[in-house]
A and B are shown apart, each in its own frame.
Chain A
Amino acid sequence: MKKYVTRRILQLLVTYFAFLTLLFVVFRIAPGDPTSMYLLEGMGPEQRQATLERLGVDRPLHEQYVNYLLQLLSLDLGESFRYGTAVENVIWVRFWNTVLLMGPAFLIAYVLGIGIGAFMGWVRGSAKERFGVIMTLVARSSPEFWIGLLLLMTFSFYLGWFPSGGMRETGYEAATFWDRYLSLNFLHHMFLPLLTGVIFYMATPALLMRSSMIQVLNSDFIEIKKAEGHPEYIILYKYAARNSILPITTVVAIVVGVALGGSLVIETVFSWPGMGREMVDSVMHNDYAMAQSVFFLMGSVVIFMNFVADIVYVFLDPRVRYE
């Protein structure tokens, strides 16, 4: 087990390093003068030179690369020209706004998805299962923005039950953290975007859990557990579901990646002031430092979640633990 964890940590480091390198390369092959992204319009030639020197973009590429790594790792994210201030002054609020929306969306989607999937596997061959599969496939076939638009049109514009966007009422000043994120007003604004995420992200774990469940239910040991005289619900939860979850954990991180990406779309539809919308806007406005920072944060989260999922797997499956 120690060996397994050590190997995972090494792999994590390699992956992360490669990710950072890729980020550097991608943002430096951008069209046009690679330094132009750091320059603002209306700067004089001396000013330009000064900026370039300050940012170190006039140095050789390898030096820049080392600097870039050092900066990123010390969370020095550079300067956003759109906001005219350090990226970190803007991005952390955005980051938490996104985490507070997509985190719960993802968690609820996973728990519900696993539950629904387990149920579909359990009642396989019945009309209930057929209905469940069709609904799940329909949800999976609807891109986030489409679900979002439908919810927006129905519940906000037509029925008027929910606000059409933003995180809280304009003019609502949040004094404390609790006010900010746990007020009814916040939850009211959060409902539709959250629901959008839940509907779309639920499909993958549900379908996976269903097939996993069907396979586990076909295995010999379930037959033995029935023969042992355990009631059905015990067999379902204590034995079948517990084993079926194993393959689902490995895709947790993948779905986190998809969900973080989905924040771009959901936040755009619901004008949610998070990282995703910031990414779209900053790419649109050539704000490289901001786009790169968002990308860096999202990638870091996904890679870290991949790692966590691998470690959790070890605890769930003794076959790996004792390898």
Chain B
Amino acid sequence: MSTDIRDRLDATVEGNRRLAKLSKDAGYVWGIIRGDTLATIGVVIILGFLFLALFGPMLAPHDPGDNLRGEDGQLLRTDSPTETFSEGAYLGTTNYGEDVLSQVIVSVRVSVFVGLLAALIAVFIGANVALISAYYGGRVDDVLMRIVDIAYGLPFLPFVIVLVFIFGSNIWNIVFVIAAVLWRDSARVVRSEVLTQKQRPYVKSARAIGASDLRIMYKHIFPNVLPLVGLYAAFAVAYAIIYEASLAFLGFGDPELYSWGQMLFQAYHSGAIRFAWWWVLPPGICLMLLVMAVFFIGRSLEEITNPELRH
């Protein structure tokens, strides 16, 4: 009973200590981001998109699938903003008379969702493969690194398309398939970092006091490679967004959902690309801004992991 309480107390103290360290580290990272104009811009853009991802459907002026008609009852077919502004379609309409603005807003969700989830899964797999591979070395390392080599041998987009085609174009499959390819980057890079960390004295002393392998890997080494993992997570977010959009543009997106790639797919295949700039620019620019914001933050993280890059 009493040991139980003491354990719990210890755990709380330990937890608080870790929380304190975490908030200190977070403060440090925040400090660097604040000092970097580009990263600050990135954070602002991302917060904006997160807001749209959460509340988009409530903010969209129309249902993205509604076929809008003008006063004369005619379908507003691929009309420019100047013609449709008075009807409340501020960015013009698609060839079905749908409101471009509403579609762009509702589409934020897919990019944000795929970006975050696919990156999380990818980095989770990658970091674990890296830790195990580098920590145990030898055979384990050989086998895992061969698997990474094979992953690198797969041409990215074709592989994703084949998998999505086989498993079906729904958003979950898209997330898993993208993650299944993206893990390789973090695996390779984090592994070499773990290899250097393994040589550090703190690992030896942890071993000397009899810490288990798992404990050394996850409690001692992992926190030290965390900045690098964070950096590759940022890259993974960016690439996941790009690949989801590419898939959708090629016609392999989730047909149930609106996404920027899908909008561009439709604009391209309807031939509207020849003139309907109001339909093409908004989704493309949003896509670019979101990915750019992630890379801007990534650049800051890169300077944290590699102080030599700081001027």
Contact = CB atoms under 8 A, between A and B. Distances in A.
Interface string B149-184: 110111111110111011010000000000000000
Contacts of A91: none
A18 B246 contact: no
A238 B274 CA distance: 48
Contact of B292 (A27, A141, A144, A283): A141
Given A144-B246, A257-B156, A261-B155, A26 B162 contact: yes
- Residue of A30, A134, A146 with highest tally of chain B CB at under 10 A: A146
Contacts of A196: none
A167 interface: no
B16 interface: no
Contacts of B158: 260-261, 264, 276, 279, 294-295, 298
Interface residues of A, number: 58
B309 to A, nearest CB: 6
Nearest to A277: B250
A214 B311 CA distance: 9
B291 interface: yes
B280 interface: yes
B295 A137 contact: yes
B61 interface: no
Instruction: Label chain B's interface by main secondary structure.
Output: helix
Interface string A127-162: 000000110011011111110011011000100000
A112 interface: no
B288 A141 contact: yes
B154 A257 contact: yes
A211 B231 CA distance: 15
B149 A306 contact: yes
A116 interface: no
A280 interface: yes
B277 interface: yes
A316 B153 CA distance: 23
B249 interface: yes
Nearest to B153: A303
B308 interface: yes
B39 to A, nearest CB: 11
B251 interface: yes
B299 interface: yes
Contact of A142 (B168, B288, B296): B288
A299 interface: yes
A31 interface: yes
A29 interface: yes
A105 interface: no
A137 B246 CA distance: 18
A28 B290 CA distance: 37
B161 A264 contact: yes
Contacts of A145: 245-246, 249, 261, 264
Interface string B118-161: 00000000000000000000000000001001101111111101
A121 B168 CA distance: 45
Given A149-B273, A157-B275, A284-B251, 10 more contacts: A16-B153, A27-B162, A137-B299, A141-B292, A142-B287, A152-B273, A215-B306, A254-B152, A261-B157, A264-B157
24 contacts: A11-B146, A15-B149, A16-B153, A18-B146, A19-B154, A22-B154, A125-B311, A137-B299, A140-B295, A141-B292, A143-B249, A143-B291, A157-B275, A218-B308, A260-B155, A261-B156, A261-B158, A261-B159, A264-B157, A268-B249, A283-B161, A295-B155, A302-B152, A302-B153
Interface of A: 11, 14-16, 18-19, 22, 26-27, 29-31, 124-125, 133-134, 137-138, 140-146, 149-150, 152-153, 157, 211, 214-215, 218, 253-254, 257-258, 260-262, 264-265, 268-269, 276, 279-280, 283-284, 291, 294-295, 298-299, 302-303, 306
